[in-house]
Structure 1
Amino acid sequence: MITPGAGEATVPKGVRFGYGIGSFCTATVNTVPGLLLLYYMTNFLAVPAWLAGVVVTAPKVWDFIINPLVGRWSDRTVSRWGPRRPWLLAGACTMPAAFFLVFAGPPLSGVPAALYVGACFLATATAYALFEVPYKAMPGEMTHSYHERTSLLQWRMVFIGAATAISGVLAPAIATGEGEHGTLDSYRMMGLTIAVIMLVAMLASFFGTARAPMTGAPEPDRGGWREQFAAIKGNSAFLWLTVLSCTQMLAVSMMLAAAPYFATYTLGDPGATQTLFAALVGPILLTMPLWVRLAKRLDKRGAMVLAALMYGGGTMAALATPMFGSPWAHGWILLVGIGYAGLQLLQFSMLADVIATDAAASGKRRAGVLTGLWTAIESGVSSFGALIFGVVLSIGGFIESEPSLPVEQPESALSAVLIGQTLIPALIIFASVLMTLKYRLKPPAVPASATAE
């Protein structure tokens, strides 16, 4: 039986690099659709805002089924590559092609376009689950050490920062490269470019984790769904972490969906999407060592509270952008980015702790089931960010359009864009601070257990 905190096995640097580079996929496949898909449908395919929000959200409901299934399958996989890596390869062989098809459809508009994009996005979500769930389960099985897991995931976060910068800056740059707002052809080129980047990263992660340790990994849990869900239901740390992460990612996804609209209608510059994104993700590359130290000094829960307050404070301050202009927005988004870096690192580090603690308590390998449920719930809930923003736009009277027939938005729509980018996400992220106070998972200096107040 594993004892969390027993031993301080260090994951080899080559494996850290190989594991981290997989985040080029996990970050990109979330960032690009979250940033551009809603805007692509409303402004290029003439899909009504509410329906575009449904299209972005609906395939994520499928995650509630496919992610736990993939997790369960990977827990029970026996191969010379280990239980997780065969699934990484399966995702690498299918997901990039499905992603490209999302932005490479035939010339459709309105409801037919929404149906096409929805089908392709559903296929992307399915293929992505094959890679994502086993990938996120791996850190909890690589080392026993409470703080080593944070150090390992620091590498992942650096790659997330790089991937998010590339996808958040490069993808809009390609998409808007032809004309002020871009064309259907430029969006197709963007989809192809990002798909190739993800393919290379996923294959690199598969080969780079060939020597990944499975430190004292227990036997797979052969129990039925009822027994496994009953055990998970009793894991209060896992439940609180899931609720916390869902709340935070709901705010993040809403801001991503709103960003192109904020740049276009609040700042008056569609190209500002790229610079805003650079301000958001730049801190991920620069502040990881700081957040690792803060996690040790304040413990992970205290560091999480600090990160959420920075994120929410910067988002709330950006509400005054119409008064102070673009530099004001970029400055506060930079603070948001520092908080976002901490949130990302600490979420995944806490999940790895929960996985290791569950293995110690149960003597069973069910990291895949835990990760599958966590990713399915988080992904499903966070996808509502685009739906909520789409509804906010509809309430504000936003008018959908095609590039050849631009329209002037009413003042109410402009106000909806600003509120959807700032006020609502800020309130959501502040709510997560209260949830963080309910999370409990003790470091190895005291008995490791998962309890909640």
Structure 2
Amino acid sequence: MSALGTRTRLGYSLGSFVTGAFGTVPGLLLLPYLTDTLAVPAAAAGAIVLLPKAWDVVFNPVAGRLSDADLVRRGSRVRSLVVGGLALAVTFAALFAYPGFGSVGADSAYVVAVFFLCATAFAFFQVPFNALPAELTDGYHERTRLTTWRIAVLALAILTSGAVAPAIVNGIGGVAGYRAMGLFVAALIVVGTVSVVLSVRGVRIGRPKQPTPTWRELLATMRRWRSFRLLLGVYFVQALGVATLLAGVSYVARYVLGDADLQPLLFAGFIGPALLVMPLWDRVGRSGGKLTGFRIATVALAAALVGLAFARVLPSVAVFALVALAGVGYAGIQVFPLALLPDLITEEERRTGEARAGVTAGVWTAAEALGLALGPSLFGLMLSLGGYVSGTDAMSATQPESAVLAITFGFSVVPAVLVVLGLPLLRRRLFGSERARGTGMDGETDTEQVIGA
């Protein structure tokens, strides 16, 4: 069960079009949609972006237990993938459909309600999607390879959705632009859902284990499972940092660089390098270990973000060079935690004899969703503190110097601090030692000690 075929790797990875689109586009466009189309005040808009995704913190672990139970009954997680992915496509298109109720309060309530539905549908897709790597293969390096494929496709999905979606909005303009963008992203979600379902149907995932009997036992496991809690904490704060950065792209293009048409280029400059450096990160993980690669990627991303604090005075070439360096680091902080997670799950399932993949993926997804939701909210708070002027026509608003400064620091310094917060946890080597291990005929190591003390 160690080696996977190209069809399975590619098909599974194409599911990243679902996670990439939903994880990116609301972070990029929902806040500007609220502040500059619905005229919602910045602080309130930040809360609207946060509340529905905060629901994931509660619901995603539930979705994980449901997915584990479905696996035991049916031997497959396909049903949850299909229902979640297709429901997400429909609700996402509705999210940007612009209700036009005639009042800011009613329009805001509509967005909140539909975003709640989006978050729920996404949980039913993403939780089993994140659980699958631990079940598709038990090979240590094969999991890294599968993750690099997944993140490479994720980069393509983020690049496609994150660059094309704003281009559609800006090209068509107004309400019609947001509606067309919603339909485009919904189509990407359908393609990703169908691809991953077709690729994993019929793939043997080993003998299903019994799900955790009670929530009390599960909570006890999480309290003991130190290595998972540490990895989750690092991933959360770094997801928060990246989400804060992405929320600022539209504002940086307009008010710091002075050209709204640079938004797709900025986004492409950040995400594009991931398509090129995945073989590099795979090699780093094989030679120096996953934790070492994780540290290197963290430092690279943080250093680039600090440099972007001077974007207003730097030449454009230097700005885009720093954005590309940040993209290289971003690729690494995506690959290595997701490559470590299946190893942690496997060791915990061996210890307990019970299914952990679904519920662990649920907790992981909840933390990721909270980080992605808090990022735009944090950036919205920065806008509010800076005195950002909301309105119905983004291009006609003149922003005070304090707002431009808040945009600059919210895009650079704040994300850099959040990204670096994970480094002390990675230095403590609380994931156990990356010892020399026996190798099989394919040159892959047998296992890695990753369970914390």
Same fold (TM over 0.5): yes
Match of 2:169 among 153, 161, 175: 175
Partner SS state of residue 390, structure 2: coil
Counterpart residue number, 1:363: 353
| 1:223, distance to aligned residue in structure 2 (A) | 1.2
Instruction: Tell me how far apart the structure 2 counterparts of residues 53 and 251 of structure 1 sit (CA, whole Å).
Output: 15
Q: Distance in 2 between matches of 1:430 and 1:186?
A: 37
Distance between the aligned counterparts of 2:43 and 2:394, measured in 1?
Answer: 22
**Matched residue, 1:187:** 178
Residues 211 and 355 in structure 2, CA contact (< 8 A), matched pair in contact too: yes
1:210 maps onto 2:201 in alignment = yes
Decide whether the 8 Å contact of 1:218 with 1:363 is kept in 2.
no
Q: Which amino acid is 2:305 matched to?
A: T
- How far residue 448 of structure 1 moved from its aligned partner, in angstroms, is 4.7
Question: Is the aligned partner of 1:294 residue 2:288?
Answer: no
Post-superposition offset of 1:93? 2.5
CA contact (8 A) 2:347 2:451 kept: no
Cα deviation digits, residues 328-385 of structure 1 (max 9, x gap): 2211000000000111111211111111111121111121111101111221133111
Q: Does 1:322 align with 2:312?
A: yes
Deviation at 1:206, TM superposition (A): 0.7
CA displacement, residues 401-438 of structure 1 (integer Å, 9 cap, x when unaligned): 11288321111111110010011111111111122224
- Alignment partner of 1:212: what SS? coil
Cα distance in 2, alignment partners of residues 414 and 450 from structure 1: 44
Instruction: Summarize deviations over 1:115-163 as a string: whole Å, max 9, x none.
Output: 1111111100000111000010000111222111001111111210110
The residue identity in structure 1 corresponding to 2:104 is G
For the 8 Å contact 1:51–1:114, the answer to whether it is kept is no
Structure-1 separation of matches of 2:363 and 2:394: 44
Summarize deviations over 1:196-248 as a string: whole Å, max 9, x none. 11112111211111133313x45222410001111122111100010000010
Give yes or no for the alignment of 1:58 onto 2:48: no
Letter in 2 for 1:317: G
Residues 239 and 194 (structure 1 numbering): CA distance in 2 closer, same or farther, change over 3 Å? same
Kept after mapping to 2: 8 A contact 1:218/1:359: no
| Contact 2:162–2:264 (8 Å) recurs in 1 | yes
**Residue number among 239, 248, 252 corresponding to 1:249 in the alignment:** 239
Which one is further off, 265-274 or 376-385?
A: 376-385
Q: 2:409 aligns with which of 419, 430, 448?
A: 419
1:297-308 aligned within 5 A: 297-308=287-298
Q: Does the CA contact (< 8 Å) of 1:255 and 1:421 recur in 2?
A: yes
- Counterpart position of 1:262: 252
> How many residue pairs get matched?
442
Q: Give distance in 2, aligned partners of 1:441 and 1:40.
A: 45
- Aligned partner of residue 11 in structure 1, secondary structure: coil
Deviates more, 1:130-139 or 1:150-159: 150-159
Residues 225 and 404 of structure 1, relative CA distance in 2, 3 Å threshold: closer
The RMSD of aligned alpha carbons is 1.7
Distance 2:396 2:353 in 1: 61
Equivalent position to 1:48, from 26, 41, 46: 41
| 2-structure distance, mates of 1:354, 1:222 | 16
Q: Distance in 2 between matches of 1:444 and 1:375?
A: 29
Alignment partner of 1:219 out of 189, 196, 209: 209
The correspondence for 2:114, drawn from 115, 120, 127, is: 120
Residues of 1 paired with 2:314 and 2:254: CA distance? 16
Check the 8 A contact 1:173/1:274 in 2, yes or no. yes
Question: Which amino acid in structure 2 is aligned with residue 28 of structure 1?
Answer: A
Aligned residue in 1 for 2:125: 131
Structure-2 separation of matches of 1:78 and 1:419 = 46
- Once residues 321 and 228 of structure 1 are traced to their aligned partners in structure 2, the CA distance between those partners, rounded to angstroms, is 47
Which deviates the most, 417-426 or 113-122? Answer: 113-122
CA distance in 1, matches of 2:334, 2:158: 12
Q: Percent identity among equivalent residues? A: 35
1:295-444 to structure 2, matched below 5 A, reads: 295-403=285-393, 406-438=396-428, 439-442=430-433
Q: Which shifted more, 218-227 or 418-427?
A: 218-227
The match for 1:16 is: 9
Question: How far is 1:270 from its partner?
Answer: 0.9
Cα distance in 2 between the residues matched to 1:287 and 1:82: 36
Secondary structure in structure 1 of the residue aligned to 2:396: coil
Q: 1:407 to 1:448 in 2, by over 3 A?
A: closer
Question: 2: distance between equivalents of 1:328 and 1:56?
Answer: 32
SS at structure 2 position matched to 1:336: helix
Q: Shift in Å at residue 39 of structure 1? A: 0.8
Name the residue aligned to 2:191.
200
Q: In structure 1, how many angstroms separate the alpha carbons of the residues matched to 2:409 and 2:160? A: 27
Equivalent residues of 2:82, 2:194 under 8 A apart: yes
Question: Are the structure 2 counterparts of residues 360 and 405 from structure 1 closer, same or farther at C-alpha, using a change threshold of 3 Å?
Answer: closer
Task: Give the whole-Å Cα distance in 1 for the aligned partners of 2:31 and 2:432.
Answer: 38
Aligned match of 1:4:
none
Q: Counterparts of 1:245 and 1:277 in 2: how far apart (Å)?
A: 21
Q: Which runs of 5+ in 2 are unaligned?
A: 438-446
Report the Cα offset of residue 168 of structure 1.
Answer: 1.0
Kept in 1: contact 2:171–2:177 (CA 8 A):
yes
CA positional deviation for 1:79: 7.3
Distance in 2 between the 1:392 and 1:106 partners?
28
Structure 1: gaps (5+ residues)? 1-7
Question: Which digits, 9 at most, give the CA deviation of each residue in 1:52-109, with x for residues without a partner?
Answer: 1001110111112221111101111157863311110111221100011110022245
Q: Which moved more, 1:374-383 or 1:240-249?
A: 374-383
The one-letter code matched in structure 2 to 1:409 is Q
Q: What's the CA shift for 1:110?
A: 2.5
Structure 1 range deviating more: 273-282 or 353-362: 353-362
Note if contact 1:161-1:284 (Cα within 8 Å) is conserved in structure 2.
Answer: yes
Task: Determine helix, strand or coil for the equivalent of 1:106.
Answer: coil
Q: Deviations over 1:137-192 (max 9, x none)?
A: 000111222111001111111210110110111101101003xxx31111110001
Contact 1:81 1:210 in 2 (8 A): no
